[in-house]
Chains A and B, each alone.
Chain A
């Protein structure tokens, strides 16, 4: 179990838990990011923050600090695991 903010660019994970009380999590849930959803950390912005994640055929940007409470399971049987060196 890893916070989303610690994924490497290119790494996949399955959303394990989020905090529905937080505004950012509510926004992401409305976009379809619900527990069990597979996501990929596409890239980080040139200055390291925010992040771009891909899920359900869309790319969404969120800030590093806001990604800390999103817990992902990187061991789950996700599509190809191919972390790039950072």
Chain B
């Protein structure tokens, strides 16, 4: 259905944890479009909703929030969207206010703020089944009457109850254009608001609504006046006078809005809400266990380790199938292109190889999104943040940084996407900056190869495992001080308080969880996929060209006795050596010499900048064992164990000394070698500045730490 078919736009607004997304899915039936609001990392979800009478409207699901006070990007988007101030978006023709029936007062505060914008409204009392169980009885007819006649609908989106009534309510609101009754501002506050409207109009020439004037008067931030183009001096003068006027009425201007709204709502709810035999919810009892001082952290560890282990174990099988399928496709396609070797290499090695390597990560990502979705919808995620906050607050992060960082151990991209749940912009940016330090699964192959080839055979399996575990901690070790310095000395963003609702526990709805998993995975594929695809082709071209036929003939002539396989691998190695990538690797090898890397490792490192997992197959090519090398390849291990320096002061000594092995692993632990991560970081931080900073910082840090490590270890154990 195209945009132009729908003349009417309806916005879904509500507090977090009200079941708003469940209702949205129920109303739109998953016919949804996901985009982004211009200039911010807030997703714009919209879909087509049938109003039950054949009328179709576009329904947009605005981010959940508690107040219109624009402290976070999410809140700013809602305020702007409702006021029609978003470029390319219309002002909604009606608002569906999703209200948690078990907490009417707090939820209606937002409704009362939204009412100031003067849009027709429907009030949906969602989760009414839970309210019933708690013994709450709501007189909806009386409530509707008290709210000025707006439709009030009881619903339980989870159970699918009342959805048809919501559809009818939307149609009624659109037809009748009924607005929710507004709060009556005390005279002095009303006068102050009028002053702000007039001053802003005088200074900027723009028409300012009363709702906008409220944001200007009551909010500490100045996003609104910036948008109006109101100069700071004029704005401060006007707002100071207006706030002084509010003070004369006995209200603190920073407290006036909630005080007036809540007083208005308390009076309004008188007699609407009858509490029968109120039974305490089960959440308090569950919290007694899950947040217990001793049991809580133990269960937390079990849940998180379980999540983490299942991401790896469950993903193992589909990953193998994908690998198998990709190899088969590669062989089949390659076979059919034997007559055109360049095209064969481009399609088989470049395109299929690159896309396959990327697809192999998809199962992990899907499972990760699935589990995170379950934790979020059940209400445990807020508890996890509650338990972990103290561990993160000292270095400027908060409890919500935990999940992005944990996800980062599988893949940085879902980690970066999940930083969106962090409201505080400072903690959000700092978390996004340190997520790429987490030891993602693309780092695993190089650790496995090096440990199996050099640590295990020499120092035994005990050390092999210890080094494997240690390598997974290196990134974390550097991430924490990085976050500390970043939030303390670099980021100038004003920190937000960490106020977090611990919502009622709830059974996650499978459809919602799966749907969000699908949406996130689609975003991952479209984002990472395109970057990987482009980069793969560039790297392929750099290591394929130039390709003079004389190179192959020379190798064949020099090795008359060798097997066909052996010659093929040697020819390939020779081609890579004289390719642009090989020449470049040799040219910049001196830069990596202090880290103990020869030109072959240097080529591997350079080829891995777009995607670090490429290192193993590149080493396979440069060490002449053929390109299909895996981390458990015996040939590659032997070739590397036998490799010796050919010239210079280290001539005759093995290239892969303990110093070089550790240096190479630490380099991969710390270096920024992932194109899609950089692209995602740029998007999530709202610009290339932070992505560039991350790249330079991580790469420089990797070089410095690896160089120091190599120089120290090579002297201790020459």
Contact = CB atoms under 8 A, between A and B. Distances in A.
Interface string A56-68: 1111111100100
Interface in B277-300: 283-284, 287, 291-294, 296-297
A59 B393 contact: no
Contact of B69 (A21, A30, A42, A56): A30
A17 to B, nearest CB: 11
Interface stretch (B254-262, B572-580, B637-645, B709-717): B254-262
Interface stretch (B408-416, B497-505, B533-541, B592-600): B497-505
A8 to B, nearest CB: 14
B259 A50 contact: no
Contact of A50 (B293, B294, B389): B389
B386 A50 contact: yes
Contacts of A58: 103, 106, 501
Contact of A46 (B67, B297, B497): B297
Contacts of B287: 42-43, 52, 59
A56 B105 contact: yes
B496 interface: yes
Contacts of A26: 69, 71, 220, 254
Given A30-B109, A32-B262, A43-B291, A59 B501 contact: yes
A26 B255 CA distance: 7
Contact of B497 (A49, A57, A63): A63
A1 interface: no
B83 interface: no
B499 A60 contact: yes
A61 B500 contact: yes
Interface string B96-127: 00000011011001000000000000000000
A60 B498 CA distance: 10
Contacts of A21: 220, 254
A23 B387 CA distance: 23
Interface residues of B, number: 41
A31 interface: yes
B252 interface: yes
A46 B258 contact: no
Nearest to B291: A43
Nearest to A49: B390
Contacts of B515: none
B458 interface: no
Contact of A63 (B69, B391, B393, B501): B393
A32 B106 contact: yes
A34 B502 contact: no
Contact of A61 (B66, B105, B220, B386): B386
Interface string A32-50: 1010000000110111111
Nearest to A21: B254
Nearest to B259: A34
A20 B255 contact: yes
A7 to B, nearest CB: 16
A34 B106 CA distance: 12
A49 B389 contact: yes
Nearest to A64: B390
A24 B390 CA distance: 17
A47 to B, nearest CB: 4
B247 to A, nearest CB: 11
A52 B502 contact: yes
A34 B261 CA distance: 11
Given A52-B386, A61-B386, A28 B499 contact: yes
A62 B385 CA distance: 11
A20 B220 CA distance: 10
B262 A45 contact: no
A34 B497 contact: no
B101 to A, nearest CB: 11
Given A45-B387, A46-B291, A52-B386, A27 B105 contact: no
Nearest to B252: A20
Contacts of A23: 71, 220, 496-497
A76 interface: no
A34 B386 contact: no
Given A49-B389, A49-B393, A30 B67 contact: yes
B502 A31 contact: no
A53 B481 CA distance: 32
A10 B500 CA distance: 19
A31 B66 CA distance: 7
A9 to B, nearest CB: 10
Contacts of A60: 499-502
A45 B255 contact: no
A18 B292 CA distance: 29
Nearest to A18: B255
Nearest to A32: B106
Interface string B40-66: 000000000000000000000000001
Contacts of B498: 50, 61-63, 66
Interface string B492-535: 00001111111000000000000000000000000000000000
Nearest to A51: B386
A24 B382 CA distance: 18
Nearest to B102: A57
B135 to A, nearest CB: 12
Nearest to B104: A57
A27 B497 contact: yes
Contact of A24 (B293, B296, B399, B497): B497
B102 A34 contact: no
A30 B254 CA distance: 11
A27 B423 CA distance: 12
B217 to A, nearest CB: 13
A63 B391 CA distance: 12
B67 A61 contact: no
A45 B106 CA distance: 25
Contacts of B103: 56-58
Contacts of A63: 389, 393, 497-498
A73 B212 CA distance: 37
B79 to A, nearest CB: 13
Interface of A: 20-24, 26-32, 34, 42-43, 45-50, 52, 56-63, 66
Interface of B: 66-67, 69, 71, 102-103, 105-106, 109, 220, 252, 254-255, 258-259, 262, 283-284, 287, 291-294, 296-297, 382, 385-387, 389-391, 393, 399, 496-502
Given A26-B69, A27-B71, A46-B292, 19 more contacts: A21-B220, A27-B67, A30-B66, A30-B69, A30-B109, A32-B106, A32-B258, A34-B255, A34-B262, A43-B287, A46-B297, A47-B387, A49-B390, A50-B386, A58-B501, A59-B284, A59-B287, A59-B502, A63-B497
17 contacts: A20-B252, A24-B499, A26-B69, A26-B71, A27-B497, A30-B67, A32-B109, A46-B291, A47-B390, A50-B399, A52-B287, A57-B103, A58-B106, A59-B283, A60-B502, A61-B498, A62-B499
Closest 5 CB pairs of A and B: A24-B497, A30-B67, A20-B254, A47-B390, A20-B255
